[in-house]
Each structure stands twice: as structure tokens, then as C-alpha cells.
Amino acid sequence: MAAAIVAIAFAALATPAVEVATASTTAAPAAQTIMITLYASMANPSGWGLGPVNITNPGPTLTVNQGDTIMFHLFSADGATHMLVIDLDGSGTQSSGDVVSEPFNASGTAFFYPNTPGQFTYFCGTHELSMQWGTVVVRSTTPVGDNTPWLAGGMLVLFVAAVGFAVYRWRHVPVPRKALPKGRGARNGRNAKGKAAARSRHRSGH
């Protein structure tokens, strides 16, 4: 029985280790610093572009990964003063929760630390949103369905239950009489009868 308990214990302990190893292959990718160059123009064609000659409105869709650091290199393609705003709070206007660059009429920079997956609008803070806007897509890098803690917890519960059941069986299931050494059960029975008879004699003697 002890060997069976040890076997159950090893089986229960070995399984979570395998699950953890599997889960690690879906871990989030290492964060990177990504540089994006954007050209802004109010003069026709207005909008945003990855270069000075491909400016469109809406501008290019910018896809970034959650957890990365995005460094924008910003240029004015028409000499006008522009400002990059990423509308993180979805208000449609420049507000304190947004990414906002310094105004630039030649070049500038802005940093974006995307934490929340989703789609966001970027636009120019000094011109109308409708004339200079585009979309930023933040991709989630959080592993989907990472249930390692639940698996480990579940295996621990199973392990405790298995050991508890084994111990319960070990202590409560009577050993079959055939398994006892020959003659021992009969001798015990005889002794018990003898004691009972002695008690009976003792009581009847009064």
C-alpha cells in the first residue's frame, strides 16, 4: 500500500511540471522598441504618411504590440505646425489621457507605451481631426487561455485527495482473514471466547 501511495504521489507531481513547460511556449514576446516615421501635412494632400510623398487621409493604419515602446519620428511635410495626438480615451479631442507630441513645424518626437489592446484614432492636435487622422491597432501580447495556475491547483487538489483516499483505505479496509498468518485468527477467536467465558463465570459467581 505504501508503494501505491508513493506511485500516486509521483504521478500527481509529475503532471504539473509537464503543463508548466507547455504553457511557457505561449509566454508573451519580449518587449521591443519600435520606431515609426510619420509625415504630417495640412496642404493638399492632407493627412499622414510613412513618407513625404505618400500622405493620405486617413493615414496609414499603425499596428503595434502591447508592451512595446513606440518612438515616433515626426516630420512636417508642408512646413505647417502639426501635433500628433493618439486618442487613447476615445474622447475625439486632445485630453490628458492621450499621447501628445510637442508641436512641430520641422521635426519632433513622441513616445507611446501601449498597455491596452484595441483600436485608437490618431490625429493632428493643431488641425481638424477629419483632415488628418488614422488608426492605431494595439495587438494583445497576453497569452490567451493561460490556465497554468488552475491546472497546478487542480493537480494539487487531486494529489491531496488521492493520498487521503489511499490513507483512508489503508486504515479502514479490514485485512482478509486468509491473509493473516495461519492459525492466528483462530487463536485470537479462542482467546476472546475464553475471556468472555471468564467474565461470565465471574458475574455468575455472585
Residue 23 or 129: the one with the smaller Cβ distance to Cu ion is 129
Alpha-carbon distance 177 to 184, whole Å?
9
Residue 64 or 85: the one with the smaller Cβ distance to Cu ion is 85
Size of the site for Cu ion (CB under 5 A): 6
Q: Which stretch binds Cu ion (CB under 5 A): 34-42, 47-55, 93-101, 163-171?
A: 34-42
Q: Which of residues 170-199 bind Cu ion (CB under 5 A)?
A: none
Binding mask 104-143 for Cu ion (x = CB under 5 A): --------------------x-xx----x-----------
Nearest to Cu ion by Cβ — which residue? Answer: 124
Taking the complex as a whole, how short is the minimal distance between the CB of residue 81 and Cu ion, in angstroms?
Answer: 7
Residue 82 or 101: the one with the smaller Cβ distance to Cu ion is 82
Residue 64 or 127: the one with the smaller Cβ distance to Cu ion is 127
Per DSSP (E only), the strands in 11-167 are: 33-41, 47-49, 62-65, 69-76, 84-87, 99-100, 107-112, 118-124, 133-139
φ, ψ of residue 166 to 5 degrees: the values are -65, -45
Per DSSP (E only), the strands in the chain are: 33-41, 47-49, 62-65, 69-76, 84-87, 99-100, 107-112, 118-124, 133-139
Residue choice 68, 82, 87, 121 for contact with Cu ion (CB under 5 A): 82
Residue 121 or 132: the one with the smaller Cβ distance to Cu ion is 132
Amino acid at 153: G
Do the beta carbons of residue 70 and residue 111 sit within 8 Å?
A: yes
Residue 15 or 105: the one with the smaller Cβ distance to Cu ion is 105
Alpha-carbon distance 122 to 92, whole Å?
9
Q: Which stretch binds Cu ion (CB under 5 A): 10-18, 65-73, 79-87, 189-197?
A: 79-87
Do the beta carbons of residue 23 and residue 61 sit within 8 Å?
A: no
Taking the complex as a whole, how short is the minimal distance between the CB of residue 130 and Cu ion, in angstroms?
Answer: 12
Show the cell assigned to 108. Answer: 519632433
Alpha-carbon distance 88 to 94, whole Å?
9
Taking the complex as a whole, how short is the minimal distance between the CB of residue 127 and Cu ion, in angstroms?
Answer: 4
- In the complex, the residues that contact Cu ion under the rule CB under 5 A are 42, 82, 124, 126-127, 132
